[in-house]
Structure 1
Amino acid sequence: MFLDRIKPLDAILATAQKKSLHRSLGAVQLTLFGIGCIIGTGIFVLTSAGAQKAGPGLMLAFVIAGAVCIVAALCYAEIAAMIPVAGSAYTYSYATMGEFLAWTVGWALVLEYAIAASAVSVGWSGYFTGTILNEFFGFSLPAWLSAGPLALGGAEGGLINLPALVIALLVTWLLMIGTTESARVNAVLVAIKITALTAFIGLTLTSAYFDPDKFNPFLPAGIFGGFGSGIGAVGAAATIFFAYVGFDAVSTAAEETKNPQRNVPIGLVGSLLICTIFYILVAAGAVGTIGGQPIMGPNGIPFPAGSEELARQCAMPEYAGQLVCSNEALAHVLRQIGFSGVGNMLGIAAFLALPSVILILLFGQTRIFFVMARDGLLPEKLAAVHPKWKTPYIVTAITGVVVAIAAAFLPVGALADIANAGTLYAFFMVAIAVMLLRSREPNRERPFRVPGLIIVGPLTIAGCLFLFFNLPFDAMIVLPVWTAIGAVFYFAYGRGRSHLGRGIVEVVDDVAGHETMLPIDEPKN
């Protein structure tokens, strides 16, 4: 059987119990922490793609995506508080469903983080070329250097997104030499993002340009666009789910929270609700001022976001000012209604904040890769730590190059959809893991227990499947193809070299640090 290898939970918890973290976070602190983690790339970058899929129904899409996130977050909180060690959903799956399924989760997370970092790099490029170069220096990069061949809103003739390529490689280099973020700088960037969005909401909703008629029709592509179409409100929800990624960081703070059974759900649900309201108001301000109707094809169906057909339409003068054609949507809206200065400030906020998101995503990806390599499932050379920089430089370099290439040639909407496929699969598996652990180990200590797991667990599974099957077919098919490639690698390499298979349990609790190694009486084959 290939589902026989389950890492002993006692070994994982032995590592977790070595931590002695002070419980200091209250409900308000946790909520604010969540808002800072969640608000970021998606709202700055994907508003255009979401509007092309759903029109004004983008507002409903934010509600749908937020609802799925809330139930997923509760499941994530229970297992993260119970097993607070490195590896995320990969480690949780290893302890409940066995090595092979854990491998598929880790393999999907590698894809998710890398592609998400590419999407953020493309989003940063839009603000760099639109705000920094065009608005401040009056300089425009030629189309062949500023957009990939299928970049959203790009003119025909796009060849490579050079700024996206450069920022991805620069952040990779910083990670390799050991540069880390300053908590104070990060806090300032979070404050800038929230201030920028608040100003955007205030200026657009009170603008003389705001017209309720621009919301009609509210759902030009309907609620459901059909299996694999990626359009309609649900198709947009599957894409802008990316705007909520980051809430799992709140879940992992459960063991540092006072009264976690009360404060964790308040922090999770509260931050997600506040962000959802933020997002709805931003969408309302953008659509209500300059309109957000999608550009329709000859069959009455919106052109796919990020497609060559849409890029061709956006190159025409009559569509150039449309929300769905902008690479820097929010700054573009403010410029269109006469607030160029504030729009430029918002563009600068995105320009400054987004590289830190790329860094976090690349760090997360290399952390998962590192843990898998230390478990023997990937070549252990990948986990080598540089003698001077003290970082896993080989896997960081490989990841950075892949991220940079994807950012250079693919559109942001397509990248976000692919990243979401991996995320939804991971959350799906976490919900299953929580329910399995409740059944098998009901007496294990749980700092936080999901209220009504018998309802919340299945809702999470159904919600993740619901959004997954409303992604564009091209994005949907990437996950099974990527999983098949991973399965070949697992059976050809990982299974035979797995530490667990050779009778050693190794639990990694830090990229460069602690590990617990326990012998197993009889190695499993």
Structure 2
Amino acid sequence: MSGSAPTAEPATGWGRVMRRKPISVLNAESGTDTGGGELRRSLGVARLTMIGVGSTVGTGIFIVLNEAVPKAGPAVVISFVLAAITAALTALCYAELASTIPVAGASYTYAYATMGELIAFVVGACLLLEYGVAASAVAVGWGEYLNALLGDVVGWQIPAEFSAPPGEGGILNLPAAVLVSACCLLLVRGAKESATINAITVCIKLAVLLLFVAVAFTAFNAENAQPFAPFGAAGVGAAASMVFFSYIGMDTVSTAGEEVRNPRRTMPLALFWCVVIVTSIYLLVAIAGIGAQPWQDFEGQDAGLAAILGNLTGSGWPAIVLAAGGVISIFGVTLTTIYGQTRILFSMGRDGMIPKVFHTVHPRRRTPVRNTLIVSLFVGLLAAAVPLNTLANLTSMGTLVAFTVVSTGVVILRRTRPDLERGFRVPGYPVVPALSIAACLYLISQLPWTTYLMFAIWLGLALTLYFTYSVKHSRLATADLDA
């Protein structure tokens, strides 16, 4: 592996699990200052922005209004704003850390450099919820959208037994397995090729959403937004924690640090444009949807946006367009979330937190092929055989915890290493990181207690792995022994 040996730290007690990885070693391993590294640097601002948008704009916005509007009424627009502010504040913190430590691993790596090994491993476990489990949950719904499209276009559908997982009326979700396999093949070929395909899918699904906005605004009626907040602040908060699920994925940008050209400049710009594009689209869709029909009609409405367009136009073409948008959207989200998961595990494998197979790079393609195959197998099996809809809130919990750690890391690094080169600095420091942390904690507080229980069990499993394997195989532990 490239890079000098990490600085030795105490090998026993609390110091052992809280040892931090030197930033100089992180940058040396990734080739940040030399333009080299183990992975091929092929991504610019446009492709990286599309990776972030592709990972963020997924099935959530196609269905979230049906779930969120009954909780907040027309004030769901404020819920979207609260979620957007949380995402934007955190994106600013990500931008500073990504320009300072532009390596694979995202918030896991940032935590390793600022808070220590144990916290970094916990963050890695949270990211497994955000990427791996979320990719499976998203892939589960692909069969439904595909069947809707097939039914409208050719009048035939895949039998329910083979288009849904057990527990949801099926035996095996074959479309989900096929989807994950296709994403795996693309990722094995390389990041540049995958990013190109993703950019195409992003343009298509944004066009579908803009079509919805254009048609819905022709029927806009301000009276549909009355009363504006029938359930008060509590309803707005509950809807905001749900709506936030639609913003998950923007931090995928920071997992590509070792495959980006000029990362100190490229990554902050990509994060900025990702937040701007996603927030603009979401607010337009929310306002157009609320104005197009009475807010009471959202509850129990199937096919969400397609149903609204169908009611407005009186024809079946909206269902076809929205179903096609769903098929393409899920493909893009699955592709980018699997990509993000492999790059996080790549970084953890390099650190010795997990087996080295996750850090093995194909000599010709310069991609983590074995890592990609393992992750795709895991995601595919879950998507094909397990109903995962109940894990949406758990995914939000893992993401919000990771976001909180990133914002805290900005404060720690400013105090401990003010001398570091930073391609971007958070404006309004330290107020912005503090607001980001507060916003994340607020959304966490709105999650149901069952999510806390599942999250505690997940962390218990993660800590068991850390203390039985990772703490002994850590590269920093090797440095201790060699010192």
Q: TM-score, normalised by structure 1?
A: 0.76
Query: Does 328-337 or 382-391 show the bigger shift?
Result: 382-391
Whichever structure has more helix as a proportion of its residues is 2
Q: Kindly indicate whether the alpha-carbon contact (under 8 Å) linking 1:239 and 1:413 is maintained by their aligned counterparts in 2.
A: no
1:473 alignment partner in structure 2:
449
Measured in 1, the distance between the counterparts of 2:264 and 2:354 equals 39
Deviation at 1:439, TM superposition (A): 0.3
Q: 2:430 aligned to 435, 450, 454, which one?
A: 454
**Is 1:334 the equivalent of 2:309?**
yes
Secondary structure of 1:293's counterpart equals helix
Output one character per residue of 1:426-459: Cα deviation in whole Å (capped at 9) or x when no partner.
Answer: 1111111111110011121111111222111111
Output one character per residue of 1:392-444: Cα deviation in whole Å (capped at 9) or x when no partner.
Answer: 45543443343234434666753332222111111111111111110011121
Deviation at 1:213, TM superposition (A): 4.0
Write out aligned runs for 1:399-478 (5 A).
Answer: 399-408=375-384, 414-478=390-454
**Is 1:241 the equivalent of 2:251?**
no
Measured in 1, the distance between the counterparts of 2:229 and 2:387 equals 24
Secondary structure of 2:419's counterpart equals coil
Compared CA separation, residues 22 and 400, structure 1 to 2 (3 A): closer
Q: 1:134 aligned to 151, 154, 161, which one?
A: 151
2:77 alignment partner in structure 1:
59
Q: TM-score, normalised by structure 2?
A: 0.82
1:346 alignment partner in structure 2:
322
Q: Kindly indicate whether the alpha-carbon contact (under 8 Å) linking 2:54 and 2:332 is maintained by their aligned counterparts in 1.
A: no
Deviation at 1:283, TM superposition (A): 2.0
Secondary structure of 2:430's counterpart equals helix
Gaps spanning 5+ residues in structure 1: where?
152-156, 225-231, 295-321, 505-519
Q: Kindly indicate whether the alpha-carbon contact (under 8 Å) linking 2:86 and 2:439 is maintained by their aligned counterparts in 1.
A: yes
Identity across matched positions, percent: 38
**Is 1:13 the equivalent of 2:30?**
no
Deviation at 1:82, TM superposition (A): 0.6
Deviation at 1:287, TM superposition (A): 3.5
Measured in 1, the distance between the counterparts of 2:48 and 2:166 equals 42
**Is 1:275 the equivalent of 2:286?**
no
1:319 alignment partner in structure 2:
none
Measured in 2, the distance between the counterparts of 1:83 and 1:216 equals 48
Measured in 2, the distance between the counterparts of 1:485 and 1:133 equals 41
Compared CA separation, residues 57 and 142, structure 1 to 2 (3 A): farther
Number of corresponding residues? 460
Write out aligned runs for 1:143-154 (5 A).
Answer: 143=160, 145-148=162-165
Measured in 1, the distance between the counterparts of 2:432 and 2:96 equals 12
**Is 1:181 the equivalent of 2:193?**
yes
Gaps spanning 5+ residues in structure 2: where?
1-13
Q: Kindly indicate whether the alpha-carbon contact (under 8 Å) linking 2:35 and 2:261 is maintained by their aligned counterparts in 1.
A: no
Compared CA separation, residues 395 and 92, structure 1 to 2 (3 A): same
Deviation at 1:79, TM superposition (A): 0.7
2:466 alignment partner in structure 1:
490
Q: Kindly indicate whether the alpha-carbon contact (under 8 Å) linking 1:45 and 1:123 is maintained by their aligned counterparts in 2.
A: no
Q: Kindly indicate whether the alpha-carbon contact (under 8 Å) linking 1:417 and 1:475 is maintained by their aligned counterparts in 2.
A: yes
Compared CA separation, residues 221 and 115, structure 1 to 2 (3 A): farther
Q: Which amino acid aligns with 1:240?
A: V
Compared CA separation, residues 123 and 56, structure 1 to 2 (3 A): farther
Measured in 2, the distance between the counterparts of 1:420 and 1:268 equals 19
Deviation at 1:277, TM superposition (A): 3.7
Measured in 1, the distance between the counterparts of 2:108 and 2:355 equals 17
Q: Which amino acid aligns with 2:175?
A: P
Secondary structure of 1:16's counterpart equals coil
Q: Kindly indicate whether the alpha-carbon contact (under 8 Å) linking 1:104 and 1:483 is maintained by their aligned counterparts in 2.
A: yes
Q: Kindly indicate whether the alpha-carbon contact (under 8 Å) linking 2:26 and 2:101 is maintained by their aligned counterparts in 1.
A: yes
Compared CA separation, residues 118 and 287, structure 1 to 2 (3 A): farther
Query: Does 175-184 or 469-478 show the bigger shift?
Result: 175-184
Measured in 2, the distance between the counterparts of 1:414 and 1:460 equals 27
Q: 1:42 aligned to 39, 44, 60, which one?
A: 60
Measured in 2, the distance between the counterparts of 1:398 and 1:53 equals 39
Write out aligned runs for 1:17-416 (5 A).
Answer: 17-19=33-35, 38-130=56-148, 132-141=149-158, 143=160, 145-148=162-165, 157=169, 161-172=173-184, 174-175=186-187, 181=193, 183-207=195-219, 210-224=220-234, 232-248=235-251, 264=268, 272-293=275-296, 324-326=300-302, 328-337=303-312, 338-384=314-360, 392-408=368-384, 414-416=390-392
Q: Which amino acid aligns with 1:458?
A: A
RMSD of aligned alpha carbons: 3.7
Q: Which amino acid aligns with 2:245?
A: F
Query: Does 98-107 or 15-24 show the bigger shift?
Result: 15-24
